[in-house]
Amino acid sequence: MNKDQIREIFLDAGFEIKSGETDLKPYVYAAAEALLNHQKKDVLADINILSTIIFALAMAGGFDVNKRAPLPPNSIRAKAKATSISDIIDAIGRDWS
What is the per-residue pLDDT across 33-43, written as a single tens digit (0 to 9) for each?
A: 998 888 888 88
Instruction: Give the long-range contacts of residues 88-96, CB within 8 A, separation 24 or more.
Output: 88/53, 89/50, 89/53, 92/49, 94/46, 94/49, 96/46
Cα–Cα distance for residue pair 73/29, rounded to 1 Å = 49
Per-residue pLDDT of the chain (97 residues; tens, 9 = 90+): 899 999 999 999 999 999 999 999 999 999 999 988 888 888 888 888 887 777 776 666 555 555 555 544 455 545 545 556 666 666 666 555 5
**What per-residue confidence (pLDDT) applies to 3?**
92
- Which residue type does 41 have? K
Cα–Cα distance for residue pair 94/46, rounded to 1 Å = 9
**Torsion angle of the four alpha carbons 12, 18, 22, 27, in this order, in degrees rounded to the nearest 10:** -70
Cα–Cα distance for residue pair 15/19, rounded to 1 Å = 13
**What per-residue confidence (pLDDT) applies to 11?**
94
User: Where in the chain are the domains?
Assistant: 3-92
pTM exceeds cut of 0.75 = no
